[in-house]
Structures are given as structure tokens and as C-alpha cells.
Amino acid sequence: MAKTKAEIDKNYEERHKEERKEKYLVWGTSVSRKFAEEVNAFLKENGYTKVRLIEAGYKLLKEEAAGNKKDKAE
């Protein structure tokens, strides 16, 4: 009997589970529920992903850190 799409997908998932675990991990931390809900509502409203927010935060902090180093050097 031919496999259903669901069976094929499940098989694929199982075969690639280890590979996926090697390549991805959950980046996150405990934050106040109120803040998390505010952020998630904003992301949803504007069509941003959580990954996009992490990338944006990383970018801004890198700029800030670079600025701090420059200040100290002056």
C-alpha cells in the first residue's frame, strides 16, 4: 500500500531528527509574561518573526558595543 503524505513526513522527520537537533537550538530566556505578550502582539501585528527580532537586537547591541569601545578609545 502506498504511504500517505503524513506517513512519509513522519518518516522524514524521524530520520532527520538528529540532524535538526545539531543544526538548530532554542534561543530564549525567561521574561515577564507582560513583556512577552506585548512583544508577541507587536510581532504578529507587524508580521515580524521572533528570529527577526533577535537579529535586530543583536545588530543594535553590536552597534552599541562598538560605540562604547570607541568612546573609551577617545
- Footprint of a copy of itself on this chain (CB under 8 A)? 22-33, 35-36, 39-40, 42-43, 46, 48-62, 64-65
For residue 15, the one-letter residue type is R
The residue (of 4 and 49) whose beta carbon lies closer to a copy of itself is: 49
Tell me the closest approach of the beta carbon of residue 57 to a copy of itself, in angstroms: 3
The single-letter DSSP state of residue 3 is P
For residue 52, what is its C-alpha cell? 527577526
For residue 4, what is its C-alpha cell? 500517505
The residue (of 2 and 25) whose beta carbon lies closer to a copy of itself is: 25
For residue 36, what is its C-alpha cell? 512577552
